[in-house]
Amino acid sequence: MSNRILKRFVLSLATLAGLVGAGAAGAVTAPILVVEVDSGKVIYAQGATDPWYPASITKLMTAYVALDLVRQGKVSLDSLITISPAAAAEPPSKMGFKPGTQLTLDNALKIIMVKSANDVAWAIGENLGGSIEGFADLMNETARRIGMRESRWFNPNGLPDPRQWTSARDMAVLGRALLRDFPDSRGLFSISAIQFGRAVMANHNGLLGRYAGADGMKTGFICSGGFNVVASATRNGRRLLTVVMGQPSARERDIRAADLFDYGFGQSTGWTNQSLDALAASSVTEAPDMRPYICDRRKPMPVDEGQGALTASVPGAGVDNANAQLMAAAAPPASALAFATLNSAALRSRTLPPRAPLQPILVWIGRDPAEGQIMLNAQEEAQKAERNAARTAKLEALKVRREAAREAARLAKAEKAEKAAAQPKQAAKAEAKSEAKAEAKAGTKPKAVARSSGVPKAATAYTSVEAKPAIPQAKAATKPHAANKAAAKPAAKADSKAEPKPAARKPGAQAKARE
């Protein structure tokens, strides 16, 4: 082992020791394990039997049960798996197959190992177990038979279930069993990519094609469990298995796994190394929930996409002090989480080499590629028709909205014109009302007009009536000022319609008239 690797790993162990010592009682560390596949000897272990949420590394258990049923002759790799409505409804990552779609078990296993499709894994469980509950029973029975002790299985795809636990030790036992019991299927775990139709999907395992000798097996991620991986690598004919769980990002998970491989390949095993079976049972009674740290709601949801997939760090802190971030503030109040890592301070500037070119393996629906292509073409045509129908419906709805807008505009214009036509009449009425109020305020009534003015009673401000010429009356010897006083009497006396009385004539005037 080179001095560089030794120095890096010694610093890592010092970091881990400090974390475990600093953690309060009940502190939990992320599980890490390195084991030699052929001998089962443990090279390095930390929290290896602690319970942990497995996420999609559950699909390794699903694959073992399926391959075991094939070995028993109960099914074959050519058996058709049908996608049910329940399977199609599973959340991503998924292929998105419609209910009723069929594919071979062989293609289904390739898809769940590379794409980690939850809908396909669910369909495998339903078809091979009769139901999800029946398949979970097969998973638990098989786990006990091959020597897994801490695992409890309830679904075949690893989507969150608080009852579903495993451990790093159990996953190492499972990985060894897959490589030992199904040597002809080892290639299933090292496929760099699959091609379905025109789509190419790369394996989520960021070690494949980037770390020399990496040849499997499976990654997984859920918020409660963090980023997990069961990885295998071979160097000089020696194969190691590394299990890393609870990491805050896919990149950190890959780098830590690579560090562990570097360390493990530099170590030899002997009688002093423990076996997997000899690892002591854990005192931890339940799997810790990593959600408060891994999936901060204020940051984008992390994804398990291998190379370049990063999770958001806790605000105000960087990747290099992830250990401190996961102490009591990030954990449930009842316990503190000491996040055991391998030299986290060095991860910021480190990365794995670029990925080698992908070598996609063709997968299809139906019994064979020809049938699959026909079915795929039919589905594409149906999807195209659906898109066209949706586009047509959208255009029709847009047309209806436009027509409704035009009609509303027309009605608004007509209403505006009607209001404009009604404005003169309203103005005239308002003016008449204003004049009437003004006259009433002045103490006069509009209809009380003196007859001497020559204006008929029926005359108003809006009707033009020609006044008849006044009939001249006989001249009377009256005093001019008396007649004027009679004409200027108040309007209240004019309402009685009484003619003003003539002024009294003097006796002298009568005598002159008689003459």
C-alpha distances in Å from residue 413, one per residue of 61, 301, 406, 426 = 72, 52, 10, 20
Going by C-alpha positions, the residue among 236, 284, 340, 243 that lies closest to residue 18 is 340
Give strand ranges (E) for 124-255: 193-196, 199-202, 214-222, 226-235, 238-247
Which residue of the set 59, 94, 110, 115 is catalytic?
A: 59
Give the largest CA-CA distance in the chain: 175
Residue with tokens 């989507």: 159
Kind and range of the H or E element at 295?
A: none
Going by C-alpha positions, the residue among 294, 341, 336 that lies closest to residue 321 is 341
Residue 76 bears catalytic tag: no
Residue 218 is assigned to a ligand binding site = yes
Which residue of the set 12, 41, 56, 344 is catalytic?
A: 56
Query: In one letter, which amino acid is 393?
Result: A
Please tell me whether the peptide bond between 93 and the residue prior to it is cis, using omega within 30 degrees of 0.
yes
Which residue of the set 93, 116, 151, 224 is catalytic?
A: 116
Residue 512 bears catalytic tag: no
Distance from the Cα of residue 228 to its chain's centroid? 23
CA angle 345, 349, 353 (to 5 degrees): 125
Residues 367-387: b if buried by 16+ CB within 10 A, e if exposed: eeeeebeebbeeeeeeeeeee
Residue 56 bears catalytic tag: yes
Residue 363 tokens, joined: 């997968």
Task: Cite the annotated binding site by residue number.
Answer: 218
Q: Which residues are catalytic?
A: 56, 59, 116
Task: Cite the annotated binding site for substrate by residue number.
Answer: 218
